[in-house]
Structures are given as C-alpha cells and as structure tokens.
Amino acid sequence: MKYTTKALISAMAICLSASAVASSHREAPSITKTPKVDATDLYMFNSYENGRADYVTIIANYLPLQDAYGGPNYFALDPDALYEIHIDNNGDAVEDITFQFDFTQNLNSIEIDSDGDSSTPNVAIPLVNAGDASNPANVQTNETYEVTMVKGDRRSGSRTSLGSFDKPFDYIGTKSFPDYPTYARSFIKNLNLGSCGNGKVFVGQRAEGFAIDLGKVFDLINLNPLGERDGGTNILANKNVTSIAMEVPKACLTAGSDPVVGAWTTASVRQATLVNGNPGSGINTTAKKGGAWTQVSRLGMPLVNEVVIGLKDKDKFNASEPKDDVAKFAPYVFYPTLPALIETLYPSAPAPTNFPRQDLVTAFLTGVPTVNKPANTKQVPADMLRLNTSIAAVAAANQNDLGVLSIIPGQDDGRPNANTDDVAGFPNGRRPGDDVTDIALRVSMGALCHAGLPAAVTCVPADAAAGKALFTDGALKPATEFDSVFPYLTTPNPGSR
C-alpha cells in the first residue's frame, strides 16, 4: 500500500478532534465500581523486536492506577468476567476475529502450626505468601487463563481453543521476589495459531506506560499547555497495570490483500449477580453470577470516552459496539467541546472554527486513504485503533514520539529524533512510546489546518489561529524507556524495595 505525504498528514485526524488529556482510566461512572474490568489503554503496532518483522503486537491494559503495595490481595483479574480483543479486517466495523481471555483464580491455602502443639489445628496465614514467591508452593493464590479464538460473531462464531496458561503473581516486593524480571519472563508462552503460524502470549502486571499528570489535567487543565514537553510531572510513574499481551503473525489478522486491521478491546460480565450473605471458606465465594454476557468496558482509540463522550453517554459508550458509533455518538466528534474549553481557559489559544469538524470525523471514523483506511468501499465508520501492517516498524532508538505528526513542518521541537519522519506510529496504530496526548492536543486545536491540504479535505489556516502551537501536557516517556522485546511494557514497580 503506497502513501503520500498529504495523506499521511491527514492521518493525524484519526486522533479525534476532542482528544487528549488522559488515557482511559476510570472514565465512566459505572466502571469506577468494577475496576477489574476497566480497560485503560490499547496498543497495536508492527513488532519492532529484532527478527519479528512479520508480527503485530497487541496489548490491552486493565485495572488502572494500581498501587504496587496493594496487598495482601493485590490485583487479580475478575474470574467472572470475559476479556476480549476484537479484530475487524474488512472494514465493516464488526469483529472478524476475537481473542477471548477467561481467568480462574485458585486457592492454595497455606496453614501453619503456630503453637507447636500437634493436637491443635493448623491455622491459615493472612499474607499471600510464606517465602520466595517465585516458588508457587509458597503462594496462597494463583491465576490461570484460557485463550479462545473466535472467527465471526464473538458469541456464536467458530471457536478454537488456543490453550491454558499461568499468570505470574504481582510484584509483591524485592524480598518476596529476588529476581522478578526473570520470573515474569518465564510466563511468556508460545501461542499456536494453526495454519497461520505461532505467536506469543503474556498476561501479567506491568509498569504503567502512559505518561500524564492526571491531577492537573482534570483540574481544568491546570498546567501550561504551551510549555516545555518535559516540563511536567508523570503522576502515573509509580503505578502499575495488568497487561493482556499477544504477538500474532500478520497473516493471522489480515484478510485477502488488504493490510489494514482495526482493533478494540472489551470486557463483559454476567448479567445477574446474587450476593451471598453467608460466604464459605475460600475465595470468590461472596456472590453467584449468571445470565448472558453483558459488555461493560470498551476501548479502541485512546482518550475517546474520557474526554470526548459526554458524561451522560459514557456508560452507553462502554456498552456499545463500533458499528453503531455514527448513529449514537457522531455529534461529539462533529462539535467537540474540549477545544472550546481550552479557549475559555487560555484565550490566547482560540479553538478551530470549521464546524462541523468533517475533516476529523472522516479520518477518525474511516481511516485515511492510502494510509490506514480499509479497502472495503462499503466501509462502516467506527471508532477503533487502525494499523497498516505493511508499513515497516521503526526501531525504538529511532522512533519519533510524535508519530505521524512528525512529518508536518514546524511540529518538531528538539526532542530525540525530532527531525525524523516516522509514519509507523500513532495514529497508524499505537506504540508504547507514542505521545498520544501531545499529538491529539495539537490536532484538536487545528494542526491539520496548517498542513497545506485542500480545503475540501480538511480546513485552512484561517480556521485555526492556534493550529501551529506546540501544545503539550509536559509529560514524556519515549520508546527508549520501554523494553525493545515482547511484551515491551516494563517490569512493574515493586510493592517494597
């Protein structure tokens, strides 16, 4: 698939007009009550680990804002939930492939003779482990998960079991885990995907990769949006998340000759819950759950539900499917409110005036022709993360964290690789080191209006007086601060050093 400079610049519009000030952490009223099924970030990129050029890495993060010291139970995923990664490879906004992750939490009760009297009963210990936690015999709970690949509809399609795997325990601390990185890497497993080849899978705790000062952002953008890109504080630096990571051969994801795939992640729970007022001994005995699977979390492009969708519709968005986006949520993109808020707070940064924002709507909902727009002429517009699998990956040391925005004149700002054009990053997929916040802020305030594109395709400079400004949230975490091998996100913060 060939691409032109102007088409690549247009790709920035996929960031979404009202983008930009936080990833998807606690973004909707109902999801705050069930953090185990709260998706925080979705990454999808052409693998840049040496020797893995024929693979795509997909990472779905869940359970936000984990304090590493959160014992004694730490951060197991929900055994009564179904976590899914969906792939659309023909542009109809309906899943063609779904990878399902179904978790089980097991109890290995450790009981000791606390008084030295063999005639009295042994008593269960209150801590999760009783020794080196890399030895499973010393840990009271463990998690396993089943991976299933579904072709077609996620509930009624053809199902193939891809195996059962173990999940590493969270990083309790350096005393319980003398060598956590080695321990965690032992849980990276081969994933046999049949005729299209083998991939990798890993589920476990990782350091939070998203960089932002959440407190200042939600305090009416209480920061300097025109300051230094590294002048702020990454308030998430000491937090962890739980990652569901896959590396899949490109041939397993694409359909026919079209190299573009779209992805989103969801979590679903059972429709009914009956609380048990008299739970027995064990774990997960306080409720019984049943009924149909009901979707409660959804994430494709970053930032959408958190700062684009109106408060009254955030729960509706989490329960919706991409094919219904235009009917249910288009006004939030046509008439974005965040640029107007920025103008109110910072009068020197006026919002774009080209309403409705058709330039952003078209690119955001469809992808950009010759870049990451599916070949299907009857494509259904929808919110999902789109990746052109034919655009070569860029090594971590050479990545420009502004992604496709890097090719627009005047957007480089002296950071490492600032003068390197890099079309392999956001919004052509999303890599861990892509600064989606800065990219999206600039696009929402009209960077495309100064990119020299025809007015019929986008806007003109007069529509965006602040379109050349280098907006930033001041928090950076470039690709060199992540691992360069699967699963890319780094070792989690320990609960104790």
pLDDT, averaged per 10 consecutive residues of the chain (497 residues), comes to 37 34 65 90 98 98 95 95 98 97 96 89 94 96 98 98 98 98 98 96 97 81 84 90 98 96 97 90 88 95 82 91 92 86 91 84 70 88 94 95 83 68 89 91 84 70 91 90 98 96
Q: What are phi and psi of 222, to 5 degrees?
A: -80, 60
For 354-376, the DSSP string reads -SS-HHHHHHHHH--TTTT--S-
Give residue-wise pLDDT tens across range 310-347.
889 999 999 999 999 999 998 887 888 889 988 998 99
| HEC per residue, 142-168 | EEEEEEEEEECCCCCCEEEEEEEEEEC
**Distance separating alpha carbons of residues 407 and 100, to the nearest angstrom:** 37
Pairing of strands 39-46, 198-207: unpaired
**b/e map 352-363, b = 16+ CB within 10 Å:** bebeebbbbbbb
For residues 58 and 246, the answer to whether their CB atoms sit within 8 Å is yes
**Burial environment of residue 221 by CB neighbours within 10 A (0 to 12, 13 to 18, 19 or more):** middle
- State the burial class of residue 182 (Cβ atoms within 10 Å of its Cβ: 0-12, 13-18, 19+): exposed
How far apart are alpha carbons 206 and 242 in whole angstroms?
A: 6
pLDDT in tens, 49-91: 999 999 999 999 999 999 999 999 999 999 999 999 999 999 9
Q: What is the pLDDT of residue 442?
A: 87
The pTM score is 0.92
- pLDDT at site 360: 72
Q: What is the pLDDT of residue 11?
A: 33
3-state secondary structure of 405: helix
**Lookup result for tokens 């691409």:** 3
Residue 111 per-residue DSSP state: E
How confident is the model at residue 310, as a pLDDT?
85
Quickly tell me which residue has 């953008």 as its tokens. Answer: 221
Query: Cis before residue 487, ω within 30 degrees of 0?
Result: yes
Closest by CA position to 5, among listed 497, 371, 447? 371
- What length does the chain have? 497
CA distance linking residue 143 with residue 244, whole number of Å? 13
Which tokens is 214 given? 């959440």
Nearest to 314 by CA among 65, 105, 31: 31
Task: Check residue 272 and give its pLDDT.
Answer: 94
Structure tokens at 318: 């989490």
- Nearest residue to 329 via CA among 381, 372, 271, 273: 381
Distance of CA 94 to the CA centre of its chain: 19
Count CB-CB contacts under 10 A for residue 461. 13
**Burial label, 276 (beta-carbon count in 10 A; 0-12, 13-18, 19+):** exposed
Neighbours of 285 (CB within 10 A): 12
